[in-house]
Amino acid sequence: MAYSDKVVDHFNNPRNMGSFKKDEEGVGTGMVGAPECGDVMKLQIKVQNDTIIDAKFKTFGCGSAIASSSLATEWLKGKTIEEAQKIKNTDIVQELNLPPVKIHCSVLAEDAIKAALADYQKKSDGVLTDAK
């Protein structure tokens, strides 16, 4: 299988790879996927005044999954919460030129964005996040 140049570039030079402390103020964390499915994405955003000032990811998965999450962090930075909600998996497919068998990687990235945003909102709404 041949990868697009953009996938190769994100894979070789991942943008914003790393982690924030989960309990840091303004940080929202989304973790999606499952090890037995072969991909797990952790996506984190740091928000100030409704704007995402920083984003980080860690991904277990194929090259396309890594590239999708790397690209997602790039796109998230500088966006408002509302703008970030509008990122669609199809945008990622188009940007990275993903083949049909890799579309699920982009879906996972969209899910990760949504999960990170939801986590941030839950925290900023002051709801207790202690898991039972």
Partner 1 sequence: MKLPIFLDNHSTTPMDPRVLETMLPYFVEKFGNAASRNHAFGWAAEEAVENARKQIAKLIKADPKEIVFTSGATESDNLAIKGVLEMYREKGDHIITSSTEHRAVLDTVKSLEGRGKATATYLSVDKFGMVNPEDVRNAITEKTVLISIMLANNEIGTINPVKEIGKIAKEKGVLFHCDATQGVGKIPVDVQDMGIDLMSFTSHKMYGPKGVGALYVRKKNPRVRIVAQMDGGGHERGMRSGTLPVPLIVGFGKACELCEQEMSKDTARLIAMRDRLEASIMKALEESYLNGHPTNRLPGNLNISFAYVEGESLLMGMKDIALSSGSACTSATLEPSYVLRALGVGTELAHSSIRFGLGRFNTNDEIDYTIKKVIEIVTKLREMSPLYEMAKEGVDLKSVQWAAH
Q: Which residues bind partner 1 (CB under 8 A)?
A: 3, 8, 11, 14, 17, 19, 31-42, 58-63, 65-66, 101, 104, 107-108, 111
Helical packing angle, 89-96 and 103-124, nearest 10°: 130
The neighbouring-strand residues paired with 58 are 42
The neighbouring-strand residues paired with 102 are none
Output the smallest distance, CB 129 to partner 1, in A.
15
- Tell me whether residue 128 or residue 131 sits nearer to partner 1 (CB atom): 131
- Tell me whether residue 6 or residue 51 sits nearer to partner 1 (CB atom): 6
Cα–Cα distance list, 43 to 5, 16, 71 (Å): 23, 10, 11
Output the smallest distance, CB 73 to partner 1, in A.
12
Output the smallest distance, CB 62 to partner 1, in A.
4
- The catalytic residues are 37, 105
Check: CB of residue 24 under 8 Å from CB of residue 110: no
- Tell me whether residue 31 or residue 81 sits nearer to partner 1 (CB atom): 31
